[in-house]
C-alpha cells in the first residue's frame, strides 16, 4: 500500500476548500496509508456532520505541530494561516522522504519539497512571485531589499521555492482559475470541480414555491444588496416572488456593519424576504429544494459551491457572467447577467415562460451531474493512481 503525506493547516469546517479536502480523504482512505500533517488535533465528527463524509481517526496517521513550536508562533502579533503553513512546509521537507506521494489541498500554492499534488482554489501568492522577479543577482542590494520588504522570517523558515512549487501536479476548482494560474506561473493545470454533497429531494416543479433562494456568508463581496435590488424590480413588474437568504455572519463574535445593514434591509422587507442563519445541512437542502429559482451576486467567484448547491436542488439559478461560476451553468447565456437591468430582464423572461422553465430545468439537472460526489471521487482516484 502506497503512503501519502497530506499537509493541511486546518481541516475543520466551514469552507468550500475544506469540503474538497474532506472528500479527497474519503476517496483515498481505503487505497492508501495516509498521514495528515496539520496544526491542531482533528475533530472528524464535526467534519463528517458538516460535509457528509465518514472519516475516522482510525483511517489516518495524524501528526500535529509540537506545542512548543505552536507557542512560539502564537507569540507573533501578526497571526495568519500562512505562518502556520510555512512551518508545516518546513516539517514536511524533513519527513517527506518516508512517503510515496505528498499532497496539499486547501493551502493553494505550496512548496512540498518534492514534486507533489496541489489543489489550488486561487493563486494568492502571485503578487509575491511578481515582486521577487528581476534580473538582479541573488545577493545584490535590490534582491536583499526585496527579501527584507516582502519576506518575513516565518516565510524564509519554510525554505519556499516557487520553482519547486511549479513542478507540482496542479489541480484547480475551475477552468477560470486554471487560466489565471497559467497566466501567473506559466504552468498547466487540471480542473477537478468540487463536489456537492447531500441528497436533494426531487420535488415536481408545480409543487415548488415561486420564490428565490441565495446562499452565502453575509459579507460585502457577496453583494446581497444588489440581489435584493434585482428582485425588488422584478416584483415591481407584478411578479409575486419572495427571497430566502441562507447565510451566516463572517465572524460569529463580530457582527460588522454590512451584516447589520443587510439584517435591517431584510426587516424593512420582511413581507417577502426571509433570513435563515446557521441552518443545518438537512435544513438547507430541504429549503433549497422547495424553491424554483436561485440567485447569486458575487463577481469573479473562484468556483461557487453555493451556485452548484442551488443547481443540484433543482433551482433555475441566475448568476454574474464572470468567474468560475459560469462553468457550473455551462455558460448558459439566459442565466448570466452583468447589470441589475439585465438580471431583471432575464429573470422576467424565464419566470413568465413555462416552456423556458422546463428546458432550463432539464439542462441544469444534466449539468448537476458534473458535481456529484461519485464523479469527484472517481476523478481523484484516477489522478492519484496515475501520479
How do residues 136-171 score in pLDDT, each as one tens digit? 344 444 544 554 545 556 566 778 889 999 999 999
The confidence score (pLDDT) of residue 73 equals 67
The confidence score (pLDDT) of residue 90 equals 87
For residues 173 and 321, give the distance between their C-alpha atoms in angstroms, rounded to a whole number.
17
Helix, strand, or coil (residue 274): strand
DSSP-derived letter for residue 299 is S
For residues 368 and 196, give the distance between their C-alpha atoms in angstroms, rounded to a whole number.
9
For residues 170 and 190, give the distance between their C-alpha atoms in angstroms, rounded to a whole number.
6
Helix, strand, or coil (residue 263): helix
The confidence score (pLDDT) of residue 139 equals 45
Q: Write the class of the CATH domain 3-195+373-386.
A: alpha beta
Are β-strands 273-277 and 190-191 bridged in parallel, bridged antiparallel, or unpaired?
unpaired
Nearest Cα residue to 326 out of 301, 309, 350, 344: 301
For residues 332 and 57, give the distance between their C-alpha atoms in angstroms, rounded to a whole number.
43
Q: How many residues does the chain have?
A: 387
Every domain of the chain and the residues it spans: 3-195+373-386, 205-371
Question: Euclidean distance between the first and final Cα of the chain, in Å?
Answer: 15
10 C-beta neighbours (distance < 10 Å), count: 18
For residues 231 and 243, give the distance between their C-alpha atoms in angstroms, rounded to a whole number.
8
φ and ψ at residue 207, rounded to 5 degrees: -95, -10
Are β-strands 190-191 and 169-172 bridged in parallel, bridged antiparallel, or unpaired?
parallel
Q: What is the pTM assigned to this prediction?
A: 0.88
Are β-strands 316-320 and 33-38 bridged in parallel, bridged antiparallel, or unpaired?
unpaired
Helix, strand, or coil (residue 355): helix
With contact defined as beta carbons under 8 Å apart, do 89 and 110 qualify?
Answer: yes
Angle at 204 between CA 199 and CA 210, to 5 degrees: 100
Angle at 234 between CA 228 and CA 238, to 5 degrees: 135
- How far from 252 is each of 80, 95, 274, CA to CA, in Å? 18, 37, 20
Q: Which residue stretches of the chain have pLDDT < 70?
A: 72-81, 132-156, 250-255
φ and ψ at residue 212, rounded to 5 degrees: -115, 155
Q: Does CATH place domain 205-371 in 3.40.50.2000? A: yes
Spacing of C-alpha 278 from chain mean position: 18
256 C-beta neighbours (distance < 10 Å), count: 13
Helix residue ranges, H only, 186-303:
224-236, 257-268, 281-289
Helix (H) or strand (E) holding 141: helix 141-150
The confidence score (pLDDT) of residue 239 equals 97
The confidence score (pLDDT) of residue 151 equals 56
For residues 37 and 35, give the distance between their C-alpha atoms in angstroms, rounded to a whole number.
6
Contacts of 152 (CB under 8 A, 6+ apart): none
Domain 3-195+373-386 shares a fold with domain 205-371: yes
Amino acid at each position: 500500500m502506497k503512503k501519502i503525506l497530506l499537509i493541511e493547516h486546518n481541516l475543520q469546517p466551514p469552507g468550500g476548500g475544506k469540503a474538497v479536502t474532506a472528500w479527497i480523504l474519503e476517496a483515498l482512505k481505503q487505497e492508501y496509508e495516509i498521514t495528515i500533517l496539520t496544526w491542531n488535533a482533528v475533530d472528524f465528527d464535526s467534519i463528517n456532520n458538516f460535509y457528509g463524509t465518514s472519516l475516522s481517526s482510525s483511517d489516518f496517521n495524524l501528526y500535529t505541530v509540537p506545542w512548543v513550536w505552536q507557542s512560539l508562533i502564537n507569540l507573533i502579533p501578526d497571526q495568519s494561516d500562512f505562518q502556520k503553513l510555512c512551518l508545516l512546509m518546513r516539517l514536511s521537507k524533513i519527513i517527506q522522504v518516508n512517503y510515496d506521494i505528498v499532497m496539499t489541498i486547501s493551502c493553494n500554492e505550496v512548496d512540498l519539497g518534492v514534486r507533489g499534488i496541489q489543489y489550488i482554489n486561487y493563486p494568492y501568492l502571485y503578487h509575491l512571485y511578481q515582486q521577487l522577479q528581476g534580473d538582479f543577482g541573488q545577493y545584490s542590494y535590490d534582491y536583499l531589499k526585496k527579501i527584507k520588504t516582502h519576506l518575513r522570517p516565518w516565510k524564509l523558515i519554510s525554505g519556499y521555492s516557487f520553482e519547486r512549487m511549479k513542478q507540482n501536479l496542479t489541480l484547480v476548482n475551475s477552468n477560470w482559475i486554471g487560466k489565471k494560474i497559467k497566466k501567473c506561473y506559466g504552468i498547466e493545470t487540471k480542473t477537478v470541480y468540487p463536489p456537492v454533497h447531500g441528497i436533494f429531494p426531487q420535488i415536481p416543479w408545480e409543487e415548488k414555491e415561486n420564490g428565490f433562494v441565495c446562499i452565502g456568508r453575509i459579507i460585502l463581496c457577496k453583494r446581497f444588496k444588489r440581489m435584493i435590488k434585482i428582485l425588488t424590480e422584478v416584483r415591481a413588474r407584478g411578479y409575486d416572488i419572495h427571497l430566502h437568504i441562507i447565510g451566516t455572519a463572517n465572524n460569529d463574535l463580530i457582527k460588522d456593519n454590512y451584516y447589520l445593514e443587510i439584517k435591517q434591509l431584510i426587516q424593512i422587507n420582511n413581507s417577502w424576504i426571509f433570513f435563515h442563519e446557521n441552518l443545518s445541512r438537512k435544513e438547507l437542502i430541504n429549503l433549497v429544494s422547495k424553491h424554483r429559482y436561485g440567485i447569486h451576486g458575487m463577481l469573479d467567484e473562484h468556483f461557487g459551491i453555493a451556485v452548484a448547491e442551488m443547481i443540484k436542488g433543482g433551482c433555475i439559478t441566475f448568476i454574474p457572467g464572470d468567474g468560475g461560476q459560469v462553468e457550473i451553468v455551462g455558460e448558459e447565456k439566459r442565466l448570466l447577467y452583468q447589470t441589475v437591468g439585465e438580471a431583471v430582464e432575464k429573470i422576467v423572461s424565464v419566470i413568465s415562460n413555462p416552456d423556458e422553465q422546463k428546458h432550463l430545468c432539464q439542462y441544469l439537472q444534466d449539468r448537476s451531474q458534473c458535481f456529484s460526489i461519485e464523479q469527484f471521487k472517481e476523478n481523484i482516484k484516477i489522478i492519484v493512481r496515475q501520479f
